[in-house]
Structure formats: C-alpha cells, structure tokens
Structure 1
Amino acid sequence: MGKNCHDDNNVEATKNCVCDVVRTIADAQDNVVDQQCDVSCAQSIRDLVSPVSGNGLDTVPFILYDKKGKPFKGYGAEVRAQGGGPARFDCYDSFIFRVNEVDDKDCCAVLELLVFDNDESAGHDPCDQIDNEQVSDLERTGICITVDLNCFCAITCLPAVSVL
C-alpha cells in the first residue's frame, strides 16, 4: 500500500483514497466503453454510468493535488509534421486528466492529458485552464503519463463529459 499523505516517515497506510477514486473512475469508464453534491467525484461517476441510454458521456476529467495541496500539472509532447519539412515537437501541459488504466498492485496509473480545443498551455493554475471554456471543446491529446497515485492527497472531479 501507499504511504499516508500526511506521513513523511513512509509508514504504510491502509488505504489511498486518491488511488481508490481514480480506480473507480477507470472502472466506470471501462463500463461505458463496453457499455448529494451537484459536482463531486461520486456524482460524476454516477452520471457516467447512468442507465439513461445514449447519454454520450465517456470520461470523468479530474485534477490531482500533491501533498502540499498544489495542483499537479502534467507535461508531454507530440510530433507534428511540417508539410515536407522536418518534424517538430509540440509541447502540451495540462491540469486535467483522463485515466486510461490503473495497476491494482502498485497504484500506478496511465493518465492522458486533456486540453481545450488543442490549446497547448494550461496557464498557471486549473482555473486559468478551465475558466470560460466550452465543455464541448475539451479533447484528448493522446499524450499519456504514468504516475504513482500514492503521491497525491486530493482529487477534484469535473462533471462527466464526452471526449471520445
């Protein structure tokens, strides 16, 4: 098991709530592919797996926070062809993720960076990235990072959306 968020002595914890929530999101998203708060992880998961047929929702986007309460920003790059010229890297950063898989044994997860309408920069904080953006403009980048979910102490889930 991972260590407790507030324990700097590496004492084993009995549970990692961030890992558990991300694992639940991954399971719910897998079910969609196969088929009390207004905004919360539990509500987003319920919306995602709602029995209402054809709701079109396939992703619970979320933001992770480190042990100091700071939002985690992921970085990655893709290769862009230059119309006959040399290929170049395009760098992206994002505070918003979609879980692609979670390893139950060590609580490592593959997260995909989500951005708005191919916007490469997330700004300085999550509100810079999401404020006044259209939900329908949230899109997958195909850029994935692997993280140890034991390194995070908090998670904010955004409402379930369709990004596939």
Structure 2
Amino acid sequence: MGCERKYESTTSSIEGITTGKGRCICDVVRAIKDIQDAVVDNDCPECPTNCFLEPLGGLVSPARQQADTRVFMLLTKDGTPFKAFFRDNDYHDCDCFSVFFRVEDIFDGCCATLRVLEPVDRHKKEVNLINDCGTKLNLKKICEVRNFRLSDSCITVDLNCFCGIECVADVFLGVCE
C-alpha cells in the first residue's frame, strides 16, 4: 500500500524539519501534532489548507479563536481515502466508518495513533460514508460532512503506507473536557 519511494534525506522549507522521500506523510502528521499541542496566535497564512499552517485554527476563515484538532484524511496509493471503523454510540445503525482523523500520538519514527472522528452534517446528524451495500466508500457523501465528533476508537498506523494527506479543518472537539 506504500508509495514505494526510495528514502533520500532532504531539508524542508519548514523550520527544523528534515524529510526523506517516502516520509513526507510522517513529517506532516508530526507537524500537525506539534501544531495541535502548541495552540498559539496566528498571522494570515497564504494557503488556507496547508497542513503546516500554524496555529491551530488557521484552516478556517476567519481563523477560529478556539480549536483543538486539525482534521485530516489519509490517501492510499490509488488516491482513495483510507477508512477506519469506529464504535458508534447509536447501536442501531451500521454507519460507523470514517475517513477523518485526529492525531493522538506519533512514535517509533513513523507510526501514529489516530482517533477516528465521526462525520456529521450541518444539522449535526451523522453521515453514512459507506454505500447502501455496506461494501465501499461513497465519495459523494464526504461532501455532506460539515463537522465532526470524537469517537472512542483509535487506530495505530504505519504512516509510510500512505501516499497523500489532506487537511480538512481546524475544529474544537473538546478533547480535554
């Protein structure tokens, strides 16, 4: 599932980050974790969806005063979003897959623990991202997602197995409440 790149060290334009080809997802997720941990004031950034934007809250316009999570999606080699199961509090449905994550920890170079985020629409109702047969991701449903809720489910991944990352939003989920 990895991108099969050779590791070659280069220096990034981001202060203090040394990247290797094939490790860019690791570096981005590490940067997201640092940004979430820092939560500092912001200048106006040039690119509004750059995963390296600081501080947390910089992905929304105008920047939110309070944000504790940078929501992102990981993309597999074929460009499809990576999906993970989460425990849903509503036990009567089967719409418990998501493509949205919050980084909780990064360790051993390029492994990460990600919290699976429940996708919700503008009416705060959960969005079922799986097709009617329950077998594939319905990409059109991703467009209905407007917000997120914390789930109790986490997944540990090898970040070397992904070829892309897309930062979606900075939101307040009340992580420490």
TM-score of the pair, normalised by structure 1: 0.71
SS at match of 1:30: helix
SS at match of 2:70: coil
Alignment pair present for 1:109 and 2:112: yes
Structure 1's consecutive aligned runs of 4 or more residues displaced over 3 angstroms after TM superposition are 11-14, 78-81, 88-91, 132-135
Of 99, 115, 138, which aligns to 2:103? 99
Identify unmatched segments of 5+ residues in structure 2.
Answer: 10-19, 41-45, 59-63, 131-136
Instruction: Identify which range, 94-103 or 11-20, moves more after superposition.
Output: 11-20
Aligned-residue RMSD, C-alpha: 3.1
CA drift of 1:77 comes to 2.8
- How far, CA to CA, are the matches of 1:121 and 1:48 in structure 2? 27
User: What do the CA deviations read for 1:58-108 (whole angstroms, capped 9, x no partner)?
Assistant: 111000011222210111335778xxxxxx9977210110010100x2411
CA drift of 1:125 comes to 4.2
Asked whether the 8 Å contact 1:95–1:125 carries over to 2, the reply is no
User: What do the CA deviations read for 1:110-154 (whole angstroms, capped 9, x no partner)?
Assistant: 11111124627323245513x24433xx11112101111010110
Cα 1:75/1:161, change in 2 over 3 Å: same
Aligned length: 142
Q: How does 1:101-140 map to 2 (within 5 A)?
A: 101-103=105-107, 105-115=108-118, 116=120, 117=124, 119=126, 121-123=128-130, 124-129=137-142, 131-135=143-147, 138-140=148-150
Alignment pair present for 1:146 and 2:139: no
Q: How does 1:1-164 map to 2 (within 5 A)?
A: 5-7=3-5, 12-14=7-9, 15=20, 16-32=23-39, 36-43=46-53, 46-48=54-56, 55-77=65-87, 92-103=96-107, 105-115=108-118, 116=120, 117=124, 119=126, 121-123=128-130, 124-129=137-142, 131-135=143-147, 138-164=148-174
- How far, CA to CA, are the matches of 2:149 and 2:97 in structure 1? 13
SS at match of 1:57: coil
User: What do the CA deviations read for 1:10-62 (whole angstroms, capped 9, x no partner)?
Assistant: x54542010100011111112239xx22222123xx24177xxx811111100
- How far, CA to CA, are the matches of 1:67 and 1:19 in structure 2? 15
Identify unmatched segments of 5+ residues in structure 1.
Answer: 82-87
